[in-house]
Amino acid sequence: MKTAEKQGIFKEKNRIFTENLDSCKGLKVYNEKLVKHKGREFRSWNPYRSKLAAAILNGLNIEIKSNSKILYLGAATGTTVSHISDIVKDGSVYSVESSPVAVKKLIELSEKRKNIIPILGDANHPDRYSFLVPVVDLIYQDISQRNQAGIFISNIARYLKRSSNSILMVKARSIDVALKPNKAYNLVCSELENSGLKIKDKIDLKPYEKDHAAVIISN
Ligand SMILES: C[S@@+](CC[C@H](N)C(=O)[O-])C[C@H]1O[C@@H](n2cnc3c(N)ncnc32)[C@H](O)[C@@H]1O
């Protein structure tokens, strides 16, 4: 396998991979492919299962250092969290999720992946997890709620380091089913700008995810 590495993300043609953590060799998280190459093990990152993979394949250009601290809102059972955990092998992924069933899976994942900190919580109330979460280098949010921009803004105000980037996955239909997706994305972007954030990029997730866009901001 020929790979070109960019900040922990490996590309081969139109496929991307992360390198499996040493503590997880041979272990899959969601039935992804494991590929061995020169004594290293890589996990294929499925853009149909992870909006972050879709955004990267569609041109997302963002730096995630191996020692970064990430606040992840809407962690679900850890599909995307697990790839971020591979990338930030010397950092941490503070993973907030409101479903107790999903958090049970996150806890199991964190037993092998020590850089995942599972948090059962409601991202509408950032102060409630402040005893666990420090100031972070990046916030990633994937929560399909009408007030997704408001949740993102309040968490950025509480946790994001100054002059840092963050990523919001916007689901157009959660904003307003009657609106064309682009209008919904623009509404969200206006709300973010009105709160003082700068929009750095907006990436449609087609063909991997319909009516979704990644919005990249800096504070
Ligand atoms: C689209 S799924 C996330 C998928 C996940 N990001 C991935 O790529 O593997 C959205 C998740 O957000 C969670 N969620 C919804 N509202 C939330 C809230 N207010 N606080 C925290 N999590 C929430 C849901 O339970 C669901 O698991």
- State the distance from the centre of ligand 1 to the C-alpha of 24, rounded, in angstroms: 24
- High-pLDDT (> 90) share of the chain, %: 89
Q: Exposed, middle or buried: residue 202 (CB in 10 Å: 0-12, 13-18, 19+)? A: middle
Which atom of ligand 1 is nearest the CA belonging to 122? 20
User: How far apart are alpha carbons 155 and 150 in whole angstroms?
Assistant: 9
Question: Is 76 contained in some domain?
Answer: yes
Gap from CA of 76 to ligand 1 centroid (Å):
5
Task: Give 6's pLDDT tier (boundaries 50, 70, 90).
Answer: confident
Taking the model in full, what pTM does it have?
0.97
pLDDT digits (tens, 9 = 90+) for 44-78: 999 999 999 999 999 998 889 999 999 999 999 99
Q: Is residue 19 part of a domain?
A: no
Please indicate, yes or no, if residue 23 is contained in any of the structural domains. Answer: no
Asked if residue 137 lies in contact with residue 69, where contact means CB atoms within 8 angstroms, the answer is yes
Q: What percent of the chain has pLDDT over 70?
A: 98
Q: Please indicate, yes or no, if residue 180 is contained in any of the structural domains.
A: yes
Residue to probe by mutation, ligand 1, list 70, 143, 170, 173, most atoms within 8 Å of CB: 143
Q: What is the pLDDT of residues 98-137, one digit of tens each?
A: 999 999 999 999 999 999 999 999 999 999 999 999 999 9
Instruction: Determine the atom of ligand 1 nearest the C-alpha atom of 72.
Output: 6
Surface-to-core class of residue 94, CB atoms within 10 Å of its CB (0-12 exposed, 13-18 middle, 19+ buried) = buried
Mean per-residue pLDDT, 166-184:
91
Distance 37 CA to ligand 1 centre (A): 34
Is residue 146 a part of any domain in this protein? yes
- 39 within some domain: no
The ligand 1 site (C-beta within 6 Å) comprises: 50-51, 73-74, 76, 79-80, 96-99, 102, 122-124, 142-145
Q: Give the H or E element holding residue 150.
A: helix 148-159
Number of domains observed in the structure of the chain: 1
Tokens at residue 73, please? Answer: 């809102």
Q: Strand locations in the chain, DSSP E? A: 4-6, 9-12, 15-19, 34-37, 40-45, 69-73, 92-97, 116-120, 138-141, 165-171, 198-204, 212-218
The boundaries of the domain holding residue 79 are 47-218
Q: Is the pLDDT of residue 79 over 80?
A: yes
Grade residue 29 by pLDDT with cuts at 50, 70 and 90: very high
Q: Is pLDDT above 60 for 1?
A: no
pLDDT bracket for residue 178 (50, 70, 90): confident
Helix (H, G, I), strand (E, B) or coil at 59: coil
Could you tell me if 53 and 81 are in contact, meaning their C-beta atoms sit under 8 angstroms apart? Answer: no
Q: Is position 78 within any domain?
A: yes
Question: At 80, which CATH number?
Answer: 3.40.50.150
Which atom belonging to ligand 1 lies closest to the Cα atom of 77? 9
Mutate to test the pocket of ligand 1, among 43, 50, 94, 97 (most ligand atoms within 8 A of CB): 97
Identify the pLDDT of residue 171: 93
